[in-house]
């Protein structure tokens, strides 16, 4: 049998479960997940090798109407992913709405085969609820396949992979078979820290936060990796919220992030978090790209 591979763009509105899906497909945390919108800020690839197939999934920030510079760069990265893709998964978690129209038109313009993925079916009590969602979409748009799944419970993912396999191309693999992502370890670590921040903060704080690793040093004596991470917020008040009473919150964020990183990379890190205020960084193109979100 010959090798087949392809790029699969995961497109959809914020919060439909795109990042949960890429993690479930690859079987490892590639992209962070949260109930808050705009969790994913840049395009992330997740690589799955199975038999003679290499699936390169591209997770994207959700398509939405951008309000600031960071939002614009996020929206662009979703559109760009269409240009690289061989097939698109359009992920939804509810019936067709007018706001789906614009996104579906962009996909149509790209001329790519499109699989409609109905996610979160674990939350739907009746099979007829799934059917209603399917009908609402196929009345409005032509899809090549329709697959209901639950990314959270890994339900029907085999079915989904079989559907996608048809759109892979014969040829050599794009990535070595031991790669799960093209993100750097540093990027994955700072994302895990950001995920913990999203978990423990509310309202405007999650959207105002950026995380950057300042230094990584191997401590030969203790056989640990010493990591300094800088958390950037937009206002003094946000810095206060993040640190919490007597540093309680920041400590919790640090402890949980460290555990998660230790587990994921199978190493012992010693993590120190710093918080800095940089006013209005989300509208500063230089800062956006410096923090790894732009091009």
Residue from 17, 46, 148, 254 binding ligand GDP (CB under 6 A):
17
Q: Does 242 bind ligand GDP (CB under 6 A)?
A: no
Token representation of residue 179: 């790669």
Q: Rounded to whole angstroms, how far apart are CA atoms 84 and 110?
A: 10
Q: Are 127 and 145 in contact (CB under 8 A)?
A: no
56 sits in the region (left: phi over 0; alpha: psi -120 to 50; else beta) called beta
Residue 184 annotated as lining a ligand binding site: no
The minimum distance between CB 17 and ligand GDP, in angstroms, equals 3
The minimum distance between CB 122 and ligand GDP, in angstroms, equals 5
Binding to Mg ion (CB under 5 A) within 62-121 occurs at none
Q: Rounded to whole angstroms, how far apart are CA atoms 219 and 223?
A: 5
Residue 166 annotated as lining a ligand binding site: no
Residue from 30, 74, 118, 151 binding ligand GDP (CB under 6 A):
151
CB closer to ligand GDP out of 153 and 255: 153
Q: Does 35 bind ligand GDP (CB under 6 A)?
A: yes
Binding to Mg ion (CB under 5 A) within 250-269 occurs at none
Q: Does 40 bind ligand GDP (CB under 6 A)?
A: yes
Residue 15 annotated as lining a ligand binding site: yes
With CB atoms as reference, the residue minimizing the distance to ligand GDP is: 17
Q: Does 45 bind ligand GDP (CB under 6 A)?
A: no
Q: Rounded to whole angstroms, how far apart are CA atoms 197 and 211?
A: 10
Which residues in the chain belong to E strands, given as ranges?
4-12, 44-50, 53-59, 87-92, 114-118, 145-148, 169-170, 210-219, 224-233, 269-277
- The interface region with ligand GDP, picked from 41-49, 120-128, 202-210, 217-225 by CB under 6 A, is 120-128
Tell me which DSSP letter residue 226 carries.
E
Q: DSSP assignment of 11-72, as one string?
A: EESTTSSHHHHHHHHHTS--S---SSTT---S-EEEEEEETTEEEEEEE-PPP----SHHHH
Q: Does 152 bind ligand GDP (CB under 6 A)?
A: yes
Q: Does 19 bind Mg ion (CB under 5 A)?
A: yes
Phi, psi of 114 (to 5 degrees): -130, 130
Q: Does 62 bind ligand GDP (CB under 6 A)?
A: yes
Q: Is the dihedral of CA 175, 181, 182, 185 positive or negative?
A: negative
The minimum distance between CB 198 and ligand GDP, in angstroms, equals 9
Q: Known binding site for GTP: residues?
A: 12-19, 59-63, 119-122
Q: Which residues of this chain interact with ligand GDP, rule CB under 6 A?
A: 12, 14-20, 33-35, 39-40, 62, 119-120, 122-123, 150-152
Positions at the binding site: 12-19, 59-63, 119-122
């Amino acid at each position: 049998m010959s090798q087949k591979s392809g790029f699969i763009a995961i497109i959809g509105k914020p919060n439909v479960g795109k990042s949960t899906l890429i993690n479930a497909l690859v079987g490892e945390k590639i992209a962070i997940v949260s109930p808050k919108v705009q969790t994913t800020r840049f395009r992330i690839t997740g690589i799955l090798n199975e038999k003679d197939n290499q699936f390169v999934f591209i997770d994207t920030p959700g398509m939405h109407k951008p309000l600031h510079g960071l939002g614009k760069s996020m929206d662009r990265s979703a559109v760009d992913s269409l240009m690289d893709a061989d097939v698109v998964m359009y992920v939804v978690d509810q019936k067709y709405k007018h706001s789906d129209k614009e996104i579906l038109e962009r996909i149509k313009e790209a001329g790519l085969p499109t699989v409609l993925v109905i996610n979160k079916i674990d939350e739907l009590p009746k099979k007829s609820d799934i059917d209603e969602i399917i009908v609402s979409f196929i009345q409005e748009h032509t899809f090549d396949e329709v697959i209901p799944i639950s990314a959270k419970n890994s339900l029907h993912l085999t079915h989904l992979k079989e559907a996608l396999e048809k759109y892979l191309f014969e040829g050599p693999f794009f990535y070595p078979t031991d790669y799960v992502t093209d993100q750097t370890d540093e990027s994955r670590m700072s994302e895990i820290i950001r995920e913990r921040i999203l978990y423990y903060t509310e309202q405007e704080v999650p959207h105002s936060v950026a995380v950057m690793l300042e230094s990584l040093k191997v401590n030969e004596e203790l056989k640990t990796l010493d990591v300094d991470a800088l958390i950037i917020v937009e206002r003094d008040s946000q810095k206060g919220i993040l640190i919490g009473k007597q540093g309680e919150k920041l400590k919790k964020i640090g402890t949980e992030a460290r555990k998660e990183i230790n587990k994921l990379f199978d190493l012992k890190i010693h993590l120190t978090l710093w918080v800095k205020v940089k006013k209005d960084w989300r509208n500063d193109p230089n800062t956006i790209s410096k923090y790894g979100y732009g091009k």
